[in-house]
Structure 1
């Protein structure tokens, strides 16, 4: 990415070469039986020496993706004629979230008769894209994050997926995201809470103590002001309209129970959460007037030192794994001292398409991604949190830049909430996001914003409907 301003290390360039060739082979861009370019051409393309290219090719040989033919070159390994091809729909982010292409390669090495083709689904209309491809028999396995699965459930599409057995070795709260009517419809692979990420050097230079679990949003605002004054840069940023960020202020207003309405009126605690959000992003001295295209741009601003604090997930931390960045993480602040420090949890799971032609092979692939071996790869080679408890809590391997507080998630479980705990359907949450943007643009006033949210809650499904709880709801 562009914010990796330092010259990439040798290992990063070598990994990039291997990843590109591996991905092109997996996705059929380089077809079986064809030859890779000459080593000298690859060396020029990837800015590596011939010796380094040979080292990368040796790794691809070990993975079974290519064969070295003496005096001819490197040939993409032909698959057995009886090979099964599984179509796996997922977002492109999985390539960094937990190195999905490496896991696909390892699965293929262990199962030479099964080929997995990764298909990138449109993240802007993910549920619709997955539904259309399943209807046309074009997917065997599909990845969901927790809000995508919530939308899938609300659209009444669960009949397209196969129920799965619960796994006692997976963190229960990660599995809970994909359960409906007592049935699990996906195997969790990884999860992450939204946390506060901060630049330790900026805090030292400003003479500030690092944030901790005692912080309120008021403490954060005060620290952001001092950081901005000390550095001449903004202190805090996150994408205001991100539906994986701003809902934490609603969740914290709700506390330990969901109470959306008091009679016909929006609860005052939820109003307090929204006021805190609006006051934070309205401070131009500490919060930049910058509309990022996505959370990746937020990560970029932080990596470049443009801001000192961001709201992010463990998935985002993978972008810092090879950067000389002195950073750490801590739980999100609370609205008031002693209040709930609720945060949003995002889980990623793998679902089996019910009418897959290759259901048993697809099940084998899903089981592999949740297996100890695959989960250990996620633990050792990424900063993401494996869903399997034994893997997540095993000793860390050297080589990656991880925050010193990496393991704090183990103490945060009581604070985790999913999008569904907002008491809104995903389509309603998107509507509220639009109204928030109208409010921030001075198109509607504060009371109108609250009134519109009240209307969403009043028009929502009543208690007893498991897909969208309203009234009073116990958080997990």
Structure 2
């Protein structure tokens, strides 16, 4: 693929420079009266010509943020108008997931009287971090993915957010993630199913047919075996204990227990089979690396980019790591447990919500509305490989300059297969306990029989709690 910078990428770099300088001025990083870096330095930093840098600085002059002084440089205005500040709690990954920085820059251009200040929340405890900051009056708006919102609602904290009016132009399945007791609390910005991503060149070199919608997990394991043999490297990887990965097997089988002859509860044959298939995959160290014990998606992406593995389970969000590379890759639906089983996969949706106790609620609402607007959704569609939540924008054609998979629009055919973690019928707290037990099993600290027993205990305890309620 041709990676030369085209007209689109030039525009993106120019917009990024203007947005970054604007944000630094409004946030106080560049203080009043301070001088901007020299035009030559800005040109080098943002990969622009000096002429383009001057064009960008002219925009900031027109906005009243800087003044150009001949033979001296560009200076931040002493009288920059005070802006309303909106504190936006979010994950640091949103900059990659759908170019949050660019979206904020465009919002500042459209709403010069409002300044958005992103505040990174704890990646490992996003919900509790957000709740604590909201209760302390530190947030005006917050981002949540579908799993985090489920956890928030289960903790009884959904009412910390302002209810919103539904937008019929957003994909219904994406909006569904943020309903609680018939109230909508967040607008979806972008969503993605978990899919199989594979290196097309590796399949050609191994003389193997590419994955298709009829694949079972056994087909994947066999293809991975042949790839590993012919390439002398591992064939597939993902983070085994991630709730967004092991859960797809449980979604495909369901989570059920049955009574054996002694009335002892044990996993249903379907649930036990799904865990067995998963274990056969991740414990086969001919095809699946055993030396990566972390819980970071970056490891998965790094192995795929370095062509150390041929297949990964991933989301469209992570495909943004490939958008400027020459990597020859494509997508396929996740395999099934059995040939005749219906296809199922996990859907991950990211949304934004207004904080109910915000002192700047109207400005926060404008920002949240903007993130789901046509303008913002176009930026996501044109500059990223992520899927916008606004249907008309997501499905529009675009003059593509990104390394987008040929099957980018495959997701439209997969809507009937989408499920959220809540469809498992277990709270997020129980699923986190599942992860600990599964980690112990994959680390060889417990055997398969103990794994089944401990999972049965977790499921039975939840069933008892449900009956009490």
TM-score, structure 1 length as denominator? 0.89
Answering whether residue 406 of structure 2 is matched by residue 410 of structure 1, we say no
In the alignment, which residue of structure 1 is the partner of 2:275?
Answer: 274
In the alignment, which residue of structure 1 is the partner of 2:191?
Answer: 191
Distance 1:464 1:364, change over 3 A: farther
- The answer to whether the 8 Å contact 1:192/1:346 transfers is yes
Deviations 1:347-404 (Å, cap 9, x if unpaired)?
0111110011111111111111111111111111110001111011111332111000
Answering whether residue 49 of structure 2 is matched by residue 52 of structure 1, we say yes
Answering whether residue 224 of structure 2 is matched by residue 224 of structure 1, we say yes
SS in 2 for 1:357: coil
Give how far 1:53 is off.
4.8
Structure 2 unaligned residues grouped into runs of 5+: 260-264
Give how far 1:27 is off.
4.7
Residues in 1 aligned to 2:206 and 2:401: alpha-carbon distance in whole angstroms? 30
1:457-468 map, 5 Å: 457-460=459-462
- The answer to whether the 8 Å contact 1:95/1:101 transfers is yes
Give how far 1:110 is off.
1.2
SS in 2 for 1:363: helix
Distance 1:17 1:106, change over 3 A: closer
Answering whether residue 68 of structure 2 is matched by residue 69 of structure 1, we say yes
In the alignment, which residue of structure 2 is the partner of 1:152?
Answer: 152
In the alignment, which residue of structure 2 is the partner of 1:3?
Answer: none
Instruction: Name which of structure 1's ranges 201-210 and 237-246 shifts more when overlaid on structure 2.
Output: 237-246
Distance 1:101 1:27, change over 3 A: farther
Give how far 1:57 is off.
5.4
- The answer to whether the 8 Å contact 1:216/1:333 transfers is yes
In the alignment, which residue of structure 2 is the partner of 1:90?
Answer: 90
Deviations 1:257-280 (Å, cap 9, x if unpaired)?
xx5233533221111111011000
Distance 1:128 1:446, change over 3 A: same
In the alignment, which residue of structure 2 is the partner of 1:302?
Answer: 304
- The answer to whether the 8 Å contact 1:22/1:65 transfers is no
SS in 1 for 2:117: strand
Residues in 2 aligned to 1:338 and 1:26: alpha-carbon distance in whole angstroms? 57
Q: Figure out how many residues of one structure are paired with residues of the other and give that number.
A: 455
Residues in 2 aligned to 1:164 and 1:226: alpha-carbon distance in whole angstroms? 51
- The answer to whether the 8 Å contact 1:26/1:117 transfers is no
Residues in 1 aligned to 2:310 and 2:364: alpha-carbon distance in whole angstroms? 44
Answering whether residue 337 of structure 2 is matched by residue 341 of structure 1, we say no
In the alignment, which residue of structure 2 is the partner of 1:328?
Answer: 330
Residues in 2 aligned to 1:407 and 1:237: alpha-carbon distance in whole angstroms? 24
Give how far 1:201 is off.
0.4
Residues in 2 aligned to 1:374 and 1:450: alpha-carbon distance in whole angstroms? 46
- The answer to whether the 8 Å contact 2:67/2:76 transfers is no
Give how far 1:340 is off.
2.4
In the alignment, which residue of structure 1 is the partner of 2:438?
Answer: 436
Residues in 1 aligned to 2:125 and 2:308: alpha-carbon distance in whole angstroms? 31
In the alignment, which residue of structure 2 is the partner of 1:166?
Answer: 166
Distance 1:66 1:223, change over 3 A: farther
TM-score, structure 2 length as denominator? 0.90
SS in 1 for 2:244: coil
